[in-house]
Amino acid sequence: MTPETARPFLDIHPPVAEALAARRPVVALESTIITHGMPYPDNGTMAANVEKIITGEGAVPATIAVVDGRIKIGLSDGERESLAMTGDAMKLSRADLAFAVAEGRTGGTTVAATMICAAMAGISVFATGGIGGVHKGAEKSFDISADLDELARTPVIVVSAGAKAILDIEKTLEVLETRGVPVIGNGSEVMPAFWSRQSPYRAPLVLDSPEKIARLYQTRRALGLEGGMLVANPVPEDDEIPAAEMAAYIDAAQKAAEAQAVVGKAVTPFLLGKILELTGGRSLKTNIALVENNARLAARVAKAL
């Protein structure tokens, strides 16, 4: 869908529309973190704070979601709070985005769906927590997130804390390399692991400023190279849970998911919920800190563009 054909399905929040028309920096935000990633009221508070951080950095936030079949590019305060309280929202990716629009449904947009909608609206930078990727045991389950294919095809810079640590980070990096997606460590030669600053894996590329990230994006566009870029931004040191400690919680959560035969789109929300329980709430605090950290960097990249 091109931006022109998409227009009848989009509601662009007036401050976002004004910023886009004036070529001012805009940062897209996903909404599955609101609908499926955190409990209420933490989700609503987090979403409001992330928008404030982006505004404070001199950019305009655009939280993306589908509400009653309308693709919302930016939410009002009331719409965002209503979404935070919605108990039956769909979890939308490329496969079911159009279904939700056609059937008048409400849903949170994953990384993939947010990238699609951001590109429709002409937004080039997107801040999230962690991307989806290759699930552990994918050689049997074939459970690989659509986020990876979307990064290969949709020209949006995704600022994240890397792949979620519940995933197989090594295989996720292999798939991204195969798909031709640049993966950039922000000032770090090793890949972060979501709640933790370090994983055992090297960052394929390293850049140390928003201006350099913006220049790489512009160079790729000028060369006619398709697709987006993944920026892996480590969580601040004071907020991290060390990788060795997280490994035990992740292992216990994986075993619980297997015991309860949790599959498909339900896996990630189940694992995040279980880890929240096992860490006594610490994982949620870290999750919020890393999202806020990514929002700051994304706003600076948007300004540099």
Which residue numbers are catalytic?
30, 164
- Give me the phi and psi of 157, to 5 degrees please: -85, 120
> Which residues touch 177 (CB under 8 Å, ≥6 apart)?
183, 204
Which of 161, 231, 150 lies closest to 193, judged by CA? 161
87, amino acid identity = G
What number of other Cβ atoms are within 10 A of residue 74's Cβ? 27
Distance CA 6, CA 269 (A): 30
- In sequence order, what E strands does the chain have? 10-12, 26-29, 60-67, 70-73, 90-92, 107-109, 125-127, 157-160, 183-186, 205-207, 229-232
231 with 158: CB under 8 angstroms?
Answer: yes
